[in-house]
Amino acid sequence: MSLFVNLALRNIFRNRGRTYFALLSIAAGCSALILNGGIVFNIFGELREDAIHSRHGHLQIYRRGYSEAHLEDPQRYLMEPQTVQHILDVVRANPRVLRATSRREFSGLIVKGDRYIPFLGVGVEPDQDAEFSRHTTLRAGSAMSASDPYGVMAGLGLARKLDGKPGDELTLMTVTASGALNAVHVRLQGIFEGGLKEYDDWTLKVPLGAAGHLLSDNRIEQIVLLVRHTEDVPVVRSEFESVFQRESSDVEMRSWDQLALFHNQVVGLFGRELSIIRLIIGTIVLLGISNVMGMSIMERMVELATLRALGLRVRAIVALLMIESLFIGLMGAAIGSTLGIAVARVVSAVGIPYPSPPGSTRPFLGGVDVVPDIVTAAFLISVLATLAAAVLPIRKAIRSPIAPTLRCG
């Protein structure tokens, strides 16, 4: 075997031009697979983090039955303050949990002068909201603060409907659980853009205290969690479900991927298109490598016929050529992986500007993620493609008649 290895290495570098061309082709294909996979991973990752850190968090906890029936009877699925506090104590004790907060959703009318604008309210804890809104852009004014219990924030579209600006006095009106009409005066503290048009057009963030005053009810609808790493969400969810089951707690949980409908629609739509693009790139890579390896072996037909004429067994010739192809594939894939990672780092440092996805209100700056699984897959595909590309030319070379081949040479 060592003799074959030595011969293979000598043959590889005997014709340097041919070898360099083969290595360049393999490296270009490998780096293309890495960059394509990294771009797709980055786009989907940005959409995921936008959904988590703008609207949904990683996990949400409700009273059992909420997901199926809360629209029919929202009052039935609200949680008492003492229940909420117990759940918060449980989840905050988990080291994987970064933040936990309470929310209450409701609807009503905003009155500003002679304008009556419907809105969807989200009661939030002002001192916690910033961490849960890291992907939200502050367009005007300032963020919510615990020192201003009646300072609210409006989505960009809703603020435009109101013709509102920071500092404006607003009146919020809604119907309480008892059927009474209630109102509360608030101040527009800031205007935000969450990136999703239907969210920005209707959403008003209200401190929980003011929301409780308006609704005449201090019960909570949901508890929202952020975990330290998105990949830990299934583990954290399983741990809490076990705890709540032991305690016989009347709660249920949903994760961000069950709540982020826009993210799921975009991934479903573009995932298929990007998979087709990835297939096209992979096919081009395979064809390119096949062409280069085929030419490399066919140029050596006379040499291979001479070896057969000297009595070298066909099996030995096949082994020699496959070892050469393996070395070329390994070197080309190594060069391509290094090149792909380097280009990904540079491009990520500069950034790739993308237009707004359908339904979104803002463009975003992406990059190319270096994903170990994608790099490994690109490396293996390049090596295997090189070996596969060598099979047919080798088969043709060892089956060609010796005498005619030598005469042609």
**C-alpha separations of 300 from 295, 304, 307, 383, 392 in Å:** 9, 6, 11, 21, 14
- Find, among 183, 220, 188, 216, the residue nearest to 204 by Cα: 188
Do 230 and 110 share a structural domain?
yes
Do 339 and 197 share a structural domain?
no
* pLDDT digit string, tens, across residues 127-155: 888 889 888 889 999 999 888 999 999 99
Q: What is the mean pLDDT of the chain?
A: 85
Q: Is residue 199 part of a domain?
A: yes
Q: Is residue 254 part of a domain?
A: no
Cα–Cα distance measured from residue 193 to residue 236, given in angstroms and rounded to the nearest whole number: 30
Q: Is residue 258 part of a domain?
A: no
Contact present, 240 and 106 (Cβ < 8 Å): no
* pLDDT digit string, tens, across residues 179-219: 899 999 999 999 999 878 888 999 999 999 999 999 999 99
Q: Is residue 56 part of a domain?
A: no
Q: Is residue 174 part of a domain?
A: yes
* pLDDT digit string, tens, across residues 116-127: 999 999 999 998
The letter for the amino acid at 290 is S
Q: Is residue 57 part of a domain?
A: no
The letter for the amino acid at 255 is S
Do 151 and 69 share a structural domain?
yes
* pLDDT digit string, tens, across residues 222-277: 999 999 999 999 999 999 999 999 988 889 999 998 888 777 777 777 777 767 77
Q: Is residue 134 part of a domain?
A: yes
Do 46 and 116 share a structural domain?
no
Do 267 and 245 share a structural domain?
no
* pLDDT digit string, tens, across residues 308-317: 676 777 787 7
State which of 249, 278, 310 marks the end of a domain.
Answer: 249
Report the number of distinct structural domains present in the chain. 2
For 157-184, give the DSSP string: HHHHHHT--TT-EEEEEEE-TTS-EEEE
pLDDT at 10 over 70: no
Do 216 and 71 share a structural domain?
yes
User: How confident is residue 22, by pLDDT bands cut at 50, 70 and 90?
Assistant: confident
pLDDT at 111 over 60: yes
Do 305 and 216 share a structural domain?
no
How many of the other CB atoms lie within 10 Å of CB of 362? 16
Q: Which two tokens stand for residue 15?
A: 């014709």
Positive or negative torsion for Cα 399, 403, 404, 409: positive
Do 294 and 207 share a structural domain?
no
Contacts of 22 (CB under 8 A, 6+ apart): 292, 293, 296, 328, 332
pTM over 0.85: no
Do 219 and 87 share a structural domain?
yes
- Find, among 238, 200, 256, the residue nearest to 58 by Cα: 256
Q: Which domain holds residue 151?
A: 65-249
Q: Which two tokens stand for residue 42?
A: 């980055």
User: How confident is residue 382, by pLDDT bands cut at 50, 70 and 90?
Assistant: confident
- Find, among 325, 338, 264, the residue nearest to 290 by Cα: 325
User: How confident is residue 384, by pLDDT bands cut at 50, 70 and 90?
Assistant: confident
User: How confident is residue 58, by pLDDT bands cut at 50, 70 and 90?
Assistant: very high
Q: Which two tokens stand for residue 352?
A: 């790739």
State which of 201, 220, 249 marks the end of a domain.
Answer: 249
Do 401 and 327 share a structural domain?
yes
Do 101 and 42 share a structural domain?
no
Do 186 and 81 share a structural domain?
yes
How do strand 59-63 and strand 251-255 relate by DSSP bridges?
antiparallel
Q: Is residue 191 part of a domain?
A: yes
How many of the other CB atoms lie within 10 Å of CB of 326? 16
pLDDT at 92 over 80: yes
Looking at residue 351, what is its pLDDT? 87
Looking at residue 5, what is its pLDDT? 67
State which of 221, 249, 277 marks the end of a domain.
Answer: 249
